[in-house]
Chain A
Amino acid sequence: MSISVEANKGELAPEEQKRLKADLHRSLRRNKIRASMLVAPLVIFIIVTFVAPIGNMLYRSVDDPLVSDFMPQTTAALEGWDEQQLPDEAIYAALAQDIIEGRKAKTIGKAAKRLNYEKSGMRSLIMGTSRKHKKIQAPYKESLVDIKKGWGDLDNWKVIKRLGASVTASYYINAFDMETSPEGEVSFVDPKEQIYLKLFWRTIWMSMLITGMTVLLGYPVSYLLASLPMKTANVLMILVLLPFWTSLLVRTSSWIAMLQAQGILNDLLVWFGIIADEARIQMIYNAIGTVVAMTHILLPFMILPLYSVMKTVPPSYLRAARSLGATPWTAFWQVYLPQTVPGISAGAILVFILSIGYYITPALVGGQSGQFIGNLIAYHMQGSLNWGLAAALGVMLLVLVLGIYGVYNRVVGTNSVKLG
């Protein structure tokens, strides 16, 4: 359109030109608005139902209102405290008020529980004091220390002051296997006591193993499918697509049936006399179970992109290499493989991203040694109810996945995501 305006320039009056330009702009803008209107409903929907919940979790991982909400007077009074020596009588009085009121409202337990995540013993200190609330009297300092010696401990006060701030890094400190000393210094815990970092490494390591397995198993199959005539390939493709379409839970439960001690694989091994009946191999409820089942579940995600890339490699290249004197191995290694690298990387990153966030399969067949970081997030969501820590771990996992996805986008591009 702009070209025709340019071409007619000489014949049009200036005001005419201006009008045309304005018209063009208006029509372009209208098209832009129309296109945006089509996308808007879904964009809004995804933001409200999907992005906002995740953003809320992000907030929850640093939000820590329990202590400041349920011990308001103490936290307010502690603001001016210098942390050098035990607080003065006024602060003890505020604490006594908070405990007595919190006991009536049945909220003091929540603050106590939160404090206990940070320093064990805090819960019994507060709950013990609250149980003996009748003994609390002025002068409060003396009477509180009398009820529980812990109130004479400077460190306990520091913990209360630190958690009194409503924004906290403590969940992240926890999630990175670090601890805060009473002096407020952050350091890594003893490597033997590491939980989360260890689990992160294990998740990454096992995901890499699973990705490697899918490359190893997916490559030959994709090559076969790509080189067979279309008709045969389509029939064999069903063997790839059927598992792909089958419920995750169905596949996981059938791996239980296959791998358990009284399962089919062990039965076969015993029947063939390879192992003795009492020496059945433990193949499930451990890391092996997770790797086998997840390799099976994720294999189609490797085969499909690999296959579509291999389809585009002309078979004549291999023949040409051979006719020029290359051995089969050289022809494959120097000519074929380099051309399939985009497929390998697309499939590998896809499998890795999917694998790293897995929860269901490790939970059902992983036992102790086959757990992923997702399982721990679920545990803190439902078991220990330490939601802040669950949120912090979730955010760490999310950052990891989005980082890898960014790489994926660079390598493959979103537009080439295809299904089936």
Chain B
Amino acid sequence: MAVPSYAGPLERTWYYTFRFLCAAIFIFLIAPILVIVPLSFNAEPYFSFTQGMLTLDPDAYSLRWYEEFLTSDRWLESIKNSVIIAFFSTILSAALGTLAALGLNRSELPFKGVIMGLLISPMIVPLIIAAAGMFFFYSKLGIAQSYIGLILAHTALGTPFVVITVTATLSGFDHTLIKAGASLGATPTYTFFKVTMPLIMTGVISGALFAMMTSFDEVIVAIFIAGVEQRTIPLQMWSGIREQISPTILAVATILITFSIIMLSTVEILRRRSDRIRGIS
């Protein structure tokens, strides 16, 4: 989008103003993330840049908040909990979601619209409502304040992502491949693992990553149904921000940002690969 040669001075001015405007919005988008990383190396227990940091004095920077993070039992415990809960809920969401997406892709399925609406609902219903409902219901079942309760809740919240990504991958799926497999004597299970699975794998993995991020980042349901034993990283951050605000949170945040960059790159690579396989780009 360059300035066309016939553009008058007014249009030229507008063109540069527009570029400037967009640059400002991009800065708005990325600034909070850029600000947090240097602040997490602050030697002082403040949330702002000190004089020393601005003059790049090495003494003003330190790793003390990272040390605090890695030596605190509460934080380490929360990492363990988050990993356990995210691991199981991701696997469950991926398995249930993929199966459902395969069924939704079949034209014979009755009540498709209703079923799709139902399966997407955990994404639509405000989390506070889901959390309140789960608190009552899971307490009644006796699985509140337990790993099982949190894993089930996070699985429910993660499945819509798997359903959506796998359905999207399947939309370009060539069904004659399955018939070809069958005509060559393969059993349905064999065809599934040898033909279908490799082709939809990218969708499954990116859906699973979305589900994992959902579980890893979820705090509202955790506030309501996690017990003291099940404190997750977001829950620990939540109480940290509310009670005693310390830059340890910024250190955790920086680690989480690194984590999301890895996730983002993985999903992006998978998406390109899937597009290539389906011949879109």
Contacts and interface: CB of A to CB of B under 8 A. Distances in A.
B36 interface: yes
B99 A53 contact: no
Interface string B201-218: 000001000100100110
Contacts of A420: 206, 267-268, 271
A1 interface: no
Q: Could you tell me the dominant secondary structure of chain B's interface residues?
A: helix
B62 interface: no
Interface in A61-97: none
Nearest to A271: B54
Contacts of B237: 247, 249-250, 253
B260 A247 contact: yes
Interface residues of A, number: 90
B108 A242 contact: no
Given A228-B1, A257-B39, A360-B238, A264 B49 contact: yes
A312 interface: no
Contact of B33 (A38, A254, A357): A254
Interface stretch (B68-76, B152-160, B173-181): B152-160
Interface string A225-239: 001100000001011
B32 A296 contact: yes
A243 interface: yes
Contacts of B256: 246-247, 250
Interface stretch (A39-47, A102-110, A142-150): A39-47
B280 to A, nearest CB: 13
B56 interface: no
Interface stretch (A178-186, A338-346, A387-395): A387-395
Contacts of B39: 257
Contacts of B163: 42
B211 to A, nearest CB: 11
A370 interface: no
A119 B113 CA distance: 47
A57 B139 CA distance: 12
Contact of A262 (B28, B47, B210, B271): B47
B130 A242 contact: no
A407 B271 CA distance: 30
Contacts of B263: 245
B122 A46 contact: yes
Interface in A181-226: 217, 220-221, 224
Contacts of A252: 241
Interface stretch (A125-133, A153-161, A169-177, A373-381): A373-381
B46 to A, nearest CB: 7
B126 A401 contact: yes
A260 B47 contact: yes
A42 B97 contact: yes
B125 A401 contact: yes
A256 interface: yes
A411 interface: no
B33 A243 contact: yes
A39 B224 CA distance: 29
B147 interface: no
Interface in B260-275: 260-261, 263-264, 267-268, 271
B106 A38 contact: yes
B182 interface: no
A396 B39 CA distance: 42
B102 A38 contact: yes
Interface string B228-265: 00000010011001100100011001001100110110
Contacts of A321: none
A414 B117 CA distance: 8
Contact of A418 (B140, B168, B234): B168
B32 A254 contact: yes
A36 interface: yes
Contacts of B133: 53-57, 394
A241 interface: yes
Interface in A288-316: 296, 299-300
Given A50-B156, A394-B132, A41 B96 contact: yes
A41 B156 CA distance: 12
Nearest to A38: B103
Contacts of A263: 47-48
B206 to A, nearest CB: 7
A57 B238 contact: no
Interface in A389-415: 390-391, 394, 397-398, 401-402, 405, 409, 414-415
B242 A364 contact: yes
A374 B100 CA distance: 31
A286 B183 CA distance: 67
A2 interface: no
A42 B99 contact: yes
Contacts of A358: 126
Contacts of A296: 28-29, 32
Given A38-B102, A217-B28, A262-B47, A256 B22 contact: no
B184 interface: no
A263 B250 CA distance: 14
A211 B253 CA distance: 27
Interface string A14-58: 000000000000001001101111111111011101111111110
Given A49-B152, A53-B134, A245-B260, 19 more contacts: A36-B109, A38-B106, A42-B97, A45-B156, A224-B19, A247-B216, A247-B253, A247-B256, A252-B241, A254-B36, A256-B241, A263-B47, A394-B128, A397-B126, A398-B126, A402-B125, A414-B120, A415-B167, A420-B267
23 contacts: A28-B108, A35-B108, A36-B110, A42-B96, A42-B99, A43-B100, A49-B152, A53-B138, A54-B133, A221-B22, A239-B29, A253-B36, A254-B32, A254-B35, A257-B39, A260-B48, A264-B35, A264-B49, A359-B220, A374-B128, A414-B120, A418-B164, A420-B267
Q: Which 7 A-B pairs have the closest CB atoms?
A: A357-B126, A38-B103, A53-B133, A53-B137, A39-B103, A254-B32, A42-B100
